[in-house]
Amino acid sequence: MPTPHSSPRPPRRHATPPQRRSRKQDERPRWGMRVATSLSVLVLGAGGIGHAVVTSLETGIDRVDPFKDMKNRPRAGNGMNLLLVGTDGRDKVGREEKRKYRLGGAPCRCTDTIMLVHLSADRERATIVSLPRDTYTELPERRDPATGVERAAHPVKLNAAYAEGGPSLTVRTVERMTGVKVDHYLEVDFTSFMKTVDTLGGVEICTARPMKDSYTGLDLAAGTHWLDGGQALRYVRSRHIDAAADLGRMQRQQKFLASLIKRATSSGVLMNPVKFRDVASTMLRSVRADRGFGTDQLLDLGQAMRGFTPASSEFASVPISDPSFPVKGIGSTVKWDPAKSKRLFEALREDKPLASKRPEAPVAKPVDVAPGEIRVQVYNGTVQDGLGRKVDDALRATGFVTTRAPLNAEPRSLKHTLVEYDPRWDRSAKSLAAALPGAELRAVTGQGKTMKVTAGENFGKVERVQAEARNRGEFGTVTGDQVVCP
């Protein structure tokens, strides 16, 4: 049963950009946006631009050999698997940018963002699986290649594998935990992230509730926002918005990536040689990749992405059994669910989609409260016979809990559809009003939890709405078209 809720401010459909604050913070935020830059390499690929252009871009990639001397690796599956990691290096960030975007403090030289990207064998689907940076794991006994010192096996958080053994140990650890063979390795920093977003013309983000993080300076009202590079940086870094912390941040990163895919595939950048060169060269200056990731791979990925839509991408998180598993000497870690995570990675190896097959549906407006939690009594406020039943059926088809017994209002001369609600349930009322374009809201103290909708002459249709905190399935899977702005 829903409990009373209240909201500090009404949602705004088109909000103004947040102000960029510059005061310093005592705590350095874990920024986590490198994943956006890394997937954008895949998004932009080389879609029809030409072999010569891509070859010239490839020469700017810094090379690393994460697969050297690796033995006993998992067997190769179908499709292509890329490990995308983002480190917290900030050597190329200027003093003013560090101050403005609160990037001060010493880096830990570890990975804040880790994702497995699987491109299906038919090149019609991309699956992105987020691996929590605080995942509990154990590093094997090994000799440090730099010092020659033997290190005993010991428990760590997953992001420490990079700090202790660089790309090679990171790949080994991920392969051991997932059973998925990594075909290519991409490592990115954030120096080109803001310029990349700006070159694309910005990215649209929708949020059903206000988002504020004093550590990053993020300050978004509820509604739709067109983020430039600096604002996007704050959005994907923020982890102090709610109690979900890093796990909530991963979902926001996935939402951003879906919007980035939509922007890149709908803006014509893949087919415009000049635009492509500008965006790709900006990104690739900050990328480190294995020696096998070159022109042919960029062309292959780009060709696949030319036919992509947001529905072609699916986003998942590793199923978790304990989000705060205590480990002596390490602190709180994230422990995977062994049975569910095994099924997830088996699906990747077998090149199977994680999201259920369904017709591509219209994108739903994001709302704060799920329709299934909102009870509605419908009234017909016009002389149009059957309008009450029409509205009741449409709301129920969209997921709202209606009484299925619409009534006639008196008098029947209402011009605009009216939503009456108890102020204690104002978040529910705003979510309901989002489904009724042009509806007016009126607070009625003491009305109770049931919303009252009186259909007016301006009623046109009921629009699909969906709560951001919806059930994301066994693997937390959503497709890109479910999370981008409508």
Q: Do 456 and 351 have their domain in common?
A: no
Domain annotation covers residue 364? no
Same domain assignment for residues 297 and 410: no
* Within a domain: 290: yes
Q: What are phi and psi of 130, to 5 degrees?
A: -85, 130
Q: Is residue 112 part of a domain?
A: yes
DSSP string, 302-324: HHHHHT--GGGEEEEE--EEEEE
What's the pLDDT score for residue 469? 47
Does residue 266 lie in a domain region? yes
Largest CA distance in the chain: 87
Full-model pTM: 0.68
Round to the nearest angstrom and report the end-to-end CA distance of the chain. Answer: 29
Same domain, 201 and 226: yes
Same domain, 44 and 113: yes
CATH number of 161's domain: 3.40.630.190
> How many domains would you assign to the chain?
2
Tell me, yes or no, whether 312 and 414 share the same domain.
Answer: no
Residues 6+ apart with CB under 8 A from 441: 419, 421, 429, 430, 433
pLDDT at 110: 67
**209 plus 238 within the same structural domain:** yes
Which one of 358, 378, 396 terminates a domain? Answer: 358
Same domain, 199 and 320: yes
474 lies in a domain? Answer: no
Q: What is the CA radius of gyration of the chain?
A: 25
Q: Which of 54, 56, 50, 45 is nearest to 82 (CA)?
A: 45
1 by Cβ neighbours in 10 Å (0-12 / 13-18 / 19+) ranks as exposed
User: Domain range for residue 320?
Assistant: 34-358
Whether 195 and 223 share a structural domain? yes
Closest CA to 294 of 286, 309, 284: 284
* 343 plus 413 within the same structural domain: no
| Distance of alpha carbon 417 from alpha carbon 452, whole angstroms | 11
Q: Same domain for 39 and 140?
A: yes
* Residues 385, 323 share a domain: no
pLDDT score of 326: 92
Q: Which residues contact 463 (CB under 8 A, 6 or more apart)?
A: 364, 365, 398, 434, 435, 436, 437, 486
Q: At 206, which amino acid appears?
A: C
- pLDDT truncated to tens, each residue of the chain (486 aa)? 444 444 333 343 333 333 433 333 333 344 343 444 444 444 444 344 455 556 666 666 788 899 988 888 999 888 999 998 877 655 665 677 767 666 565 555 667 788 899 989 988 888 989 899 899 999 988 877 777 788 888 999 999 999 888 899 999 999 999 999 999 998 876 666 777 788 788 899 888 788 888 888 889 888 889 998 878 878 887 877 765 666 777 778 778 878 887 887 777 766 666 776 677 676 666 678 898 887 667 666 666 666 666 778 888 889 888 888 999 989 999 999 999 999 999 999 999 998 765 544 566 788 888 898 899 999 999 999 999 999 999 999 998 999 999 999 998 999 999 999 999 899 899 999 999 999 999 999 999 999 999 999 999 999 998 876 444 556 767 777 777 776
> What pLDDT score was predicted for residue 47?
41
Distances (CA, A) of 238 to 14, 33, 190, 206: 21, 9, 15, 16
Domain end (from 358, 382, 413): 358
Q: Which CATH number fits the domain that encloses residue 429?
A: 3.30.70
DSSP letter, residue 128? E
Q: Are residues 231 and 254 in the same domain?
A: yes
Residue 2 falls within a domain, yes or no? Answer: no
Last residue of a domain, one of 338, 358, 378: 358
Q: Rounded to an integer, what distance in angstroms lies between the CA atom of residue 355 and that of residue 258?
A: 15
